[in-house]
Structure 1
Amino acid sequence: MWIICDETIVGGMTALAPTRNEPDLSFLLDRTSHVLRTQMAAALADIGLTARMHCVLVHALEAERTQAQLAELGDMDKTTMVVTVDALEKAGLAERKPSSTDRRARIISVTPAGAKLAARSAEIVDGVHRDALGSLPKAERESLLRALNHLVDGHLATAVEAAPARRARQ
């Protein structure tokens, strides 16, 4: 449903809201992403992990990676990464070790218990994704994935750095 214009009262005068000519892609992507993240969080909570913990474990198992490299892969800031690794260490799922290539850097090494839990969490994540995509007819699912991959590899491949919006003084 498209609303072409909406009358509102602004400063005692009637104003027309701007005409929306394009679908609200930001809302659609944000909303689906938000709901998918909440489903993922609930599913992973059943085994005592967060999505960030899952991300660190899986990427640390793929190759020897530093905390900084894992933070970048998981789109985490430094503080969030430290808190996440602290939680993994406390649970006995990972540990910090010196890097074999850079003695100043610390890598995240996954323990056998962490590797076992990472395998389980990967199954859970795959299931959440499968359920979401499975709610679409096959042709739409394939089209959606092609389109999203095209955006990720093309027009939306690089984020634009912008200054945070400042709130007006009150």
Structure 2
Amino acid sequence: MTAMAPTRNEPDLSYLLDHTSHVLRTRMAAALAEIGLTARMHCVLVHALEEERTQAQLAELGDMDKTTMVVTVDALEEAGLAERRPSSRDRRARIIAVTEEGARVAERSQEIVDRVHREALASLPASDRATLLRGLNQLAEGHLATPAETPRPARRARQ
């Protein structure tokens, strides 16, 4: 007798979220590449403009490991968009300061990010957009707010 696959009783939420997230990330990467940025570079610029933040604080906000953060800030410095400076609050700490050119690029990259998100949502009827966003926010702030503790953590997709 041949074994039968189990019957799926629920929609494959994991696939739907993974697939749409992956495609959205690829579209975002392509759009930001047109101005020479990565999504990580955009994230660092925007968060560094909000307030004085250290590399470690920015890495945590952007869900980046230390090595990825160093590479990202190196690229921003090389492009003249940001620089490492001593903190005005704690001279031992180093912050990431955005240059004037970096602030202009961040403005442009935010327009691109907003456009990519707007285009993705525009493929849905308006009433479905509001419902989707409300539901995803409820999941992100509620039931799916915190990863489960596991002996071998699931690999998280990086942006």
Shorter-chain TM-score category? over 0.9
Give the secondary-structure state (helix, strand or coil) at the position aligned to 1:96.
strand
Confirm whether residue 152 of structure 1 aligns to residue 140 of structure 2: yes
TM-aligned CA deviation for residue 17 of structure 1: 1.2
Kindly indicate whether residue 64 of structure 2 is the aligned counterpart of residue 76 of structure 1.
yes
How many residue pairs align between the two structures?
Answer: 153
Structure 1 residue identity aligned to 2:137: N
Give me the whole-angstrom Cα distance separating, in 2, the residues matched to 1:156 and 1:120.
32
1:87 matched to 2:75: yes
Matched residue, 2:84? 96
1:117 aligns with 2:143: no
Percent of residue pairs identical = 78
Higher relative strand content? 1
Q: Deviations over 1:36-85 (max 9, x none)?
A: 00000000000000000000000000010111111111110111000000
> How far does residue 94 in structure 1 lie from its aligned partner after superposition?
0.2
**C-alpha distance in 2 between matches for 1:49 and 1:31:** 23
Point out the more displaced range, 17-26 or 135-144.
Answer: 17-26
Per-residue deviation at 1:23? 1.0
Cα distance in 1 for partners of 2:39, 2:106 equals 11
Q: Give RMSD over aligned pairs.
A: 1.2
Aligned residue for 2:3, secondary structure, equals strand
Q: Could you report, residue by residue, the CA deviation over 1:111-149 in whole angstroms, capped at 9, with x for unpaired residues?
A: 001000000000000000000001100000000000001
Instruction: Considering Cα pairs closer than 8 Å and 6+ residues apart, tell me whether 1 or 2 has the greater RCO.
Output: 2
Q: Distance in 2 between matches of 1:106 and 1:14?
A: 63
Partner letter of residue 147 of structure 1?
G
In structure 1, the residue corresponding to 2:6 is in which secondary structure?
coil
What residue number does 2:18 align with? 30
| Runs (4+) off by over 4 Å | none
Q: SS of the residue aligned with 1:15? A: coil
Matched residues in 2 for 1:155 and 1:103: separation?
Answer: 41
Q: 1:60: which partner in 2?
A: 48
3-state secondary structure, aligned to 2:85: strand
- Give, in angstroms, the shift of residue 159 of structure 1: 1.8
Aligned-partner SS, 2:91? coil
Match among 17, 35, 40 for residue 28 of structure 2: 40
Shift in Å, 1:106: 1.2
Q: Structure 1 unaligned runs (5+)?
A: 1-12, 166-170
Letter in structure 2 aligned against 1:112:
E
Q: Find the counterpart in structure 1 of residue 123 from structure 2.
A: 135
